[in-house]
Amino acid sequence: MRIIRGKFGRRRFDVPTNITARPTTDFARENIFNVLENLVDFDDEPTALDLFAGTGAITLEFLSRGCSRVTAVEKAQTQYNFIRKVAQQLNVQNLTLLKTDALRFIEAATTPFDIVFADPPYDMPNFEKVPEMVLNSRLLAPGSIFIIEHSKAHDFSALPHFAQHRVYGSVNFSIFQIPETEQTEI
């Protein structure tokens, strides 16, 4: 696994062979971050949440590109340990790594993030409910971006705040943009 750009760019890490996650491909990750860079100013040090963090590739990309605070949620022990090990090797101080169920986290969350990324297992029961859960949670504030990675079997374009759909090989991303609060002129 490699970090593509930013302060940790081009660093490589050997992913343990017993990891059960399906990591986002380098090609797909590079392209979705190119899209994100046009939607979010990373110089403003946004906050980010990586749900179903897996190998932590997205988490590490957020950290490398300058997010002020990143929270990663992963319940599998092997993946959790790998993310923790890499974060220690990089001496990352602004990562909150939680070993818990992402769906429970979504339901209980009270803190909004500037960017929320979710990559649930494609074969997870009720996969199609994850975007609605996030959109109806307190994870998103005005101006937030939400991205869900999914297979071509899903179409989330009818959901509120849907902005765009991107396809990179067999990887699909649906992007949602929460509008900024409108201010009344005096």
pLDDT at 17: 80
Residue 20: pLDDT over 90: no
**pLDDT mean across residues, the chain:** 93
Residue 186: pLDDT over 80: no
Q: Which residues pair with 167 in a beta bridge?
A: 172
Residue 184: pLDDT over 50: no
pTM attached to this predicted model = 0.93
pLDDT at 166: 97
The domain spans of the chain are 26-36+45-153
Residue 11: pLDDT over 90: no
Residue 149: pLDDT over 90: yes
Residue 183: pLDDT over 50: no
At the topology level, CATH places domain 26-36+45-153 in Rossmann fold (3.40.50)
Mean pLDDT value of segment 89-118:
97
